[in-house]
Amino acid sequence: MSAYSKSRLQTPWHKLITIPQLLGWLLIFALTKYFMSGADHFLALTKEALGKYFTLRWVLIAHITAGGGALILGPVQFWSRLRTQYVRLHRWLGLAYLLAILVSSVCALILSFTTSYEVNWAYAFSLQVWVAVWIITTVIAYRAALMHQYKLHQEWMVRSYMVSLAFIISGLALKFLLWIDFGSFEDIAPSLFWMGWSVPLFIYQVILSFKPKH
């Protein structure tokens, strides 16, 4: 075994992640737990607790659970030290992230074409587009990895996770606007759902345009 290989194997776990990365992950973990705890009442699995979701209760539970998993797994994909020194682990965690999005997005798609229309058309449509963008960005990222286009893979993974984070971004904005009595849920939710993923993606694209091309 070469000296380089030994140095990689001897790298302590606590040096595979920087302090800012750890703090960022803990923040996302805390926010994910906060939003998921708001759905704890659904676990009663009764008509009273689930309301319009009762007939699709397992779809809802799978969507929430897998979506939370995607939010927590996503940041790990961007830890460069872990990615370069534990390639196999990085790939397995990437597959777990992909599977979480697959389950959550398919369930979200079902909900967006059923129960969402009980809110209004704009609400349902905003969710349908959001889910479509989530699936497409993730599939492109995965395809780029399979084709060994790793720079492209990384860029699309960023986009995929931005769309995942839209749940937290739009969720926080929605809670704040409802708190200040800005409007009703039905009126403001669709616009915030659009904002949650489209604005971050636009900003990311602007940032990429200023990076030197190789």
Question: How many domains does the structure of the chain reveal?
Answer: 1
User: Alpha helices of the chain — where are they, by DSSP H?
Assistant: 3-9, 19-37, 47-50, 57-73, 80-85, 87-112, 121-146, 150-179, 185-209
**Cβ-count burial 59-70 (b if 16+ within 10 Å, e if not):** bbbbbbebbbbb
- Give the tens place of pLDDT for each residue, 92-137: 999 999 999 999 999 999 999 999 999 999 999 999 999 999 999 9
- Give the tens place of pLDDT for each residue, 54-101: 999 999 999 999 999 999 999 999 988 888 888 888 899 999 999 999
Per the domain annotation, does 214 fall within a domain? Answer: no
Angle between helices 87-112 and 121-146 (to 10 degrees): 160
For residues 94 and 113, the answer to whether their CB atoms sit within 8 Å is: no
Per the domain annotation, does 95 fall within a domain? Answer: yes
Which region holds residue 49: left if phi is over 0, alpha if psi is between -120 and 50, else beta?
Answer: alpha
Give 11's pLDDT tier (boundaries 50, 70, 90). low
Per the domain annotation, does 67 fall within a domain? Answer: yes
Burial class (CB in 10 A: 0-12, 13-18, 19+), 23: exposed
Higher pLDDT, 8 or 162: 162
Domain span at residue 204 reads 3-209
Per the domain annotation, does 145 fall within a domain? Answer: yes
Per the domain annotation, does 186 fall within a domain? Answer: yes
Per the domain annotation, does 17 fall within a domain? Answer: yes
- Give the tens place of pLDDT for each residue, 13-36: 667 788 888 899 999 999 999 999
pTM: 0.88
Give the pLDDT mean for 173-198.
Answer: 95
Report the C-alpha gap between 76 and 136 in whole angstroms: 21
